[in-house]
Amino acid sequence: MTIKNIAVLTSGGDAPGMNAAIRAVVLAAHHYALPTIGFFSGYNGLIEASSTLLTPASVNGIIHRGGTILKSARCPAMLTEQGLKSAAATLRKEQIDALIVIGGDGSFNGLLALNKYWSGAIIGIPGTIDNDIDGTDFTIGFSTAVNTGIEAIDKIRDTAEAFERIFIVEVMGRRSGHITFNVGIASAAEQILSFENFSQADEQEKLSHLAKEIKQAQHNRHASYIIVIAENLWPGGAVQLAKQLKQTANIDCTACILGYIQRGGSPVAKDRILATKMGVAAVQALIAGKNNVMIGERNNQLLTVPLDVAVQHKEKVSESLVSAQESILALTAQ
């Protein structure tokens, strides 16, 4: 297939570095004399035919900006046949030969579904703070989200130390523990609770264990105690865990939910560079005839991964991180 016109959109949850990826796609396409159309608000822009021509001038000065100049959104209509047909019709009307989507697994599943109704080439660029895409060491936005979490907990630690308090800090990640373990270890949290070391079936046992460890730390006159917990893990979240520790062990805890603060902000250098490399590689992959793939990076080497492989969620948090926390760091912190 000869590529004459490229389209790009950002879909799902925003991630720091998405703008850097858009910029790289546009500049690479311009280098190869390929016009680039940007669709607004994720797949909604395809369905509603809301687009703009992107030029080098359009992406000047955006590499450092969080969010996405193309906006992003969820799109329930892409789960329907009519929505997919409408999106495909827009691509045909605009004479788009290839579509690049920057997003996570939901966005990639949308691409795979769209390909049943449209014959153009499709490429995915992994942009999600959750780092839950298979086939790449890191996703765009993950490093910034981790740094944001660390900065927040460092500040919380100051207050915890000053008042000798216990904080339960809930971080984002959906169903992935990458942010939880990386933030928890880097901020020297006394306890880390994530999908890798907790099951709801063990709730009461874990509650008793936490209470015992906290009381031991208090006995040893530790001035502060930080528990980092993954969202969607503990029934009722950090607030409920704090209530249960109070009710069952008379332990006062303060729950702090970082939430969307981790999705915003200027991307760190690592995300800007990763996004730039992946954006350029996506355009080059299209020119080379690649289709139905995601751009990934392993051991600092760019590669392509089949889209249906990228969304399988087989890759988990490094066992070395989990083991280090469980067998050494948590015990040493007492």
Q: Which residues are catalytic?
A: 130
Sign of CA dihedral 283, 285, 289, 293: negative
CA distance 127 to 76: 19
Helix axes 18-31, 269-287, angle to 10 degrees: 40
Q: Which residues pair with 6 in a beta bridge?
A: 36, 98
CA distance 291 to 132: 22
The HSE-up count of residue 61 (CA atoms within 13 Å, CB side) is 2
Residue among 206, 125, 180 at smallest CA distance from 317: 180
191-193: strand order across its sheet: 191-193, 225-230, 166-171, 254-257
Which amino acid, 211? A
The answer to whether the beta carbons of residues 253 and 166 sit under 8 Å apart is: yes
Q: For the beta carbon of residue 272, count every other beta carbon within 10 angstroms.
A: 23
Backbone angles phi, psi at 222, to 5 degrees: -70, 130
Concatenate the DSSP letters of all residues of 27-52 into one string: HHHHHTT--EEEESTTHHHHHHT-EE
The answer to whether the beta carbons of residues 179 and 231 sit under 8 Å apart is: no
Concatenate the DSSP letters of all residues of 48-83 into one string: HT-EEEE-GGGGTT-TT-SS-TT-----GGGGSHHH
CA distance 231 to 236: 10
36-39: strand order across its sheet: 51-54, 36-39, 6-10, 98-103, 121-126, 293-298, 301-306
